[in-house]
Amino acid sequence: MNPNSFINIAIDGYSSCGKSTMAKALAKDIGFTYIDSGAMYRCVTLYFITKHIDLDNLDAIHQALNEIELDVHENQFLLNGNDVSAAIRSMQISQMVSKVSAIKAVRIKMVAIQQAIGNTKNVVMDGRDIGTTVFPAAQLKIFMTADPAVRAKRRFDEIQQKAEKVSLVEIAENLNMRDYEDTHRSESPLRQAEDAIVLDNTFLNPIEQLNFVKDLLSSRQLIAL
């Protein structure tokens, strides 16, 4: 039973398997707030890169974390007042974010912010540890997965629309590396919560995925269809 009076929907899963697309569409459809927890780890990574923080220096990490103020909106991320929504999607950030998100002090700060948001409104939050650590009592937990080649191709198509030029091989390697690091770290590794429902979307379109989750919410009487 969720101790707070708001509905928390947790969407976890591997990198680039469509979590944010599905979570965003779901939140819009049912009138909840969408929170992209991965973007928060990306903001911290950007700050650490900008300040040349040595990831082995715990004092420097704590100091940097104290300097960070995050303002999280559905589609906009302010890092100490600056809009970094586009900057956090670069390949440089993708390459370092798994290392930064494995640091305990970083996770403690991000989880506290995420829980504070979920305690004040109905949210759909996506990430890696939402159902296991952030909202262990979430009313619905989805664990998303898809074929790795399909995930790499989807991410490739998405990046093609931006200025950054990255090959399909580089993307596949980055996804592979992040999945490995996210599932093998000691702090809140990515794993399926026992009470999570698996959604493999390899062969599903966005509407089918949305309907799958809405049917679950309706069967738990969390929404009326």
Enumerate binding residues for ligand DC (CB under 6 A): 15, 37-39, 41-42, 97-98, 101, 127-130, 178, 182
Q: Please, which residue, 7 or 88, has the CB nearer to ligand DC?
A: 88
The amino acid at 185: R
Nearest to 140 by CA among 31, 26, 40: 26
Separation of alpha carbons 188 and 76, rounded Å: 26
CB of 221 to ligand DC, least distance (A): 27
Q: Please, which residue, 36 or 223, has the CB nearer to ligand DC?
A: 36
Q: Please, which residue, 127 or 223, has the CB nearer to ligand DC?
A: 127
CB of 57 to ligand DC, least distance (A): 20
Question: Where are the strands (E) in 77-138, listed by range?
Answer: 77-79, 82-83, 123-127
Q: Please, which residue, 142 or 223, has the CB nearer to ligand DC?
A: 142
Distances (CA, A) of 167 to 26, 45, 57, 149, 171: 31, 23, 33, 13, 6
Q: Please, which residue, 101 or 145, has the CB nearer to ligand DC?
A: 101
Separation of alpha carbons 124 and 25, rounded Å: 10
From the CB of residue 76, how many other CB atoms can be counted at a distance below 10 Å?
11
Buried-exposed string 170-184: b where 16+ CB fall within 10 A, e elsewhere: bbbebbeebbebbee
